[in-house]
Amino acid sequence: MIKFSLLKPLSCLLFILSAAVANAAPLIPAAPKLAASAFHLIDAHSGKVIASKNADQRLPPASLTKMMTSYIVAYEVSKGRVSLDDMVPISIAAWKKGGSKMYVREGTRVKLRDLLKGIVIQSGNDASIAVAEYIAGSEDGFAELMNHQAKLLGMKNTQYMNATGWPVEGHYSTAEDLAILGVAVARDFPEHYKIYSEKYFTYNNIRQPNRNKLLWRDNSVDGLKTGHTEEAGYCLVASAVRKNMRLVSVVMGTKSEKSRSQESQKLLNYGFRFYQTHRLYQQAEKIHDGRVWGGKQDQLQLGLSEDLYVTIARGEYANLKPSLELNGVINAPVTTGQALGLVRVMLDGKLVSERPLVSLMDIEQGSIIKRIGDSAERFFSETFESIFAD
């Protein structure tokens, strides 16, 4: 392995702080104790888990289920299989469903755009069933799509039986999985995500407020979804952005509507107060030039296939130590995206993040003369290095 320091790209910021400040360990109190069955707090960009309790415990998700329902709607729209202007028929099953409602009427047709708002803002069970039937032919068929998408997102402890979160045996999720879904909703379909911040929606002359009360109490909060059944208690997946740092919190099994908001606010405030997220490198940003042997070109630009974010304690940025390791000698041909090493970020001797170092360009194999010349140059170079090393 060939190792290189990557201090230079960060040098403008790494050494702003004095040595005394850089070496001082920040004092971070323990995460707040919440009156909840389970909770989970992560940074949406880095995936860093900031606080967690019983995050892998399977619990009834109630209407938090509707995040997946709306996610699939956004996905189907993005693929062109449905349109937000489609007129969706309302069945008797959708119209008769109890619980929270959008108040659509059986036998009518409603724009998919309006049904989506009814799902997200009004938590309408009727809207959820209508959409499920329209996209998959039946609610059972839609549940299969939901479970398939959950696996694709890495939700390992989730199983959907319906599109609403209506209590039924075998319908469960976890705080960790719901955080993964919350991040995906905001990341994958940003235009669709804007609906989650809308405070009111009126349909059929009935104006209903968004059940996420944090939208009124905290200007940094822009989503996501509430849930409540007797079995599940009061639940809330919340997301907020402060200074380009997005956190997603999940609180499950609280005792009241007020409590779920209060406990979520505690989590978010804790994360923003004591942690900070930094983007160290951008996707496709050149961070190293590698020597290529036997190619039409001698130099290869190396970088990352995605942005590299780290979430660390406030005041620790100056102590980050990024470095890269090449797998070995780079021989042509090389293709864009080919993994050729690793980028590691260390903090106080602990690994913070690790990403594959990839080629940012294609390099074709050179002519026979070029390959012979490079082979000779490499032989003499390695020979001299060996002599001086001895």
Host H or E run for residue 62:
none
| DSSP letter string, 251-305 | EEEESSHHHHHHHHHHHHHHHHHHEEEEEEE-TT---EEEEEESBSSSEEEEE-S
Query: Position 149: which residue type?
Result: Q
- Residues with active-site annotation: 63, 66, 123
DSSP H/E element including 374: helix 368-389
Give, in order, the Cα–Cα distances in Å from 281 to each of 93, 274, 275, 324: 51, 23, 19, 13
Q: 288-293 and 330-331: which strand pairing?
A: parallel
Report DSSP letters for 147-205, one per residue. HHHHHHHT-TT-B-SSSS----TT-BB-HHHHHHHHHHHHHH-HHHHGGGG--EEEETT
Q: Are 157 and 176 in contact (CB under 8 A)?
A: yes
Q: Which two tokens stand for residue 11?
A: 């040098």
Closest CA to 313 of 48, 18, 39: 48
Burial annotation 104-136 (CB, 10 A radius, 16+ → b, else e): beeeeebebbbbbbbbbbbbbbbbbbbbbbbbb
Residues 351, 354: Cα–Cα separation, whole Å: 7
